[in-house]
Every structure is written in structure tokens, then in C-alpha cells.
Structure 1
């Protein structure tokens, strides 16, 4: 009986991992599609709150698609 319960527990854990992976992929897709718009909105908020305009310009110049292409290929010094 305990053997059967352990098998179901492992199965449930696998299902949770699959669900988390699907949600992560969906989040990446949404950020890829709407990232430029979100970045522009946040840049406007930073400017309104007294941030430096040059920082906003630098952040909004980078396109989301370009950022996603280089994701994981950057090396840290």
C-alpha cells in the first residue's frame, strides 16, 4: 500500500514540474512580445519619479527580442 502512495506522490511532483515549466515558457513569450511596451511604461514612470533621462533612454533602446537572443550567452567578469 505504501509503495502505491509513493508512486502517486512522485507522479504529482512531475506534474507540478511540467506545469511550472509551461508557466515559465508562457511568461518568457509574454515578456518577449510586450517587453518593449512594458519597458517604455516603466521608463516613463522613472522619469516622472525624478530619474535620469539618459538611463531611461539607454533602457528603452534595447529591444526585447535582442535581449532574449543574447540571454544566457553573456559572461560575467
Structure 2
């Protein structure tokens, strides 16, 4: 009976670890693409309400270009002091 209870606890622990990893990954993705996602959602909301979303679309494209530039920037310990001087 005690062995079965430990196995149940192990499954729950594994589930919690997986959920935590997914949450960390989601936070990282949102951090990286957050502005582009917010601009896209603003554009969708404006289009649904019948207004022009050209400004929001331009903002989303600018944010996407910024994300692309950030993605190609080399990250590492050699650039650590450069990133922290901002």
C-alpha cells in the first residue's frame, strides 16, 4: 500500500515539473514576442470594431523586425557587460 502511494506522489511531482517547464517556456516566448503579439491583438480588435488597423499592423511589423534583430544578436558571457550597461 505504501509503495502505491509513493508512485502516485511521484507522478504528481513529475506533472508539476512539466507544468513549470511549460510555464517558463511560455514566459520566455511572451517576453520575446510580447510586443508583436499585443500589436496584432490590437489590430484584430480594431478590425472587428470596424476601424482601420493600419497603425497597429505597422506597430506589429516593427516589433517583429525588432524581435528578428534581437534573435540574431549573439548572446553569451562575452557580451554580458555590454547587455548590462543599458
Structure 2: gaps (5+ residues):
60-86
Give yes or no for the alignment of 1:4 onto 2:3: yes
Give yes or no for the alignment of 1:35 onto 2:9: no
How far the C-alpha of 1:17 sits from its partner, in A, is 0.5
Matches within 5 A, 1:30-69: 30-50=29-49
The structure with more helix, counted as a fraction of residues: 2
Q: Please report the TM-score for the alignment, with normalisation by the length of structure 2.
A: 0.55
Q: Deviations over 1:11-43 (max 9, x none)?
A: 111110010000001000011101111111111
How far the C-alpha of 1:51 sits from its partner, in A, is 7.1
Which residue number in structure 1 is paired with residue 18 of structure 2? 19
Q: Deviations over 1:37-75 (max 9, x none)?
A: 11111111111122788xx98xx7xxxxxxxxxxxxxxx
Partner of 1:30, secondary structure, is: helix
Q: Please report the TM-score for the alignment, with normalisation by the length of structure 1.
A: 0.61
Structure 1: gaps (5+ residues):
61-77
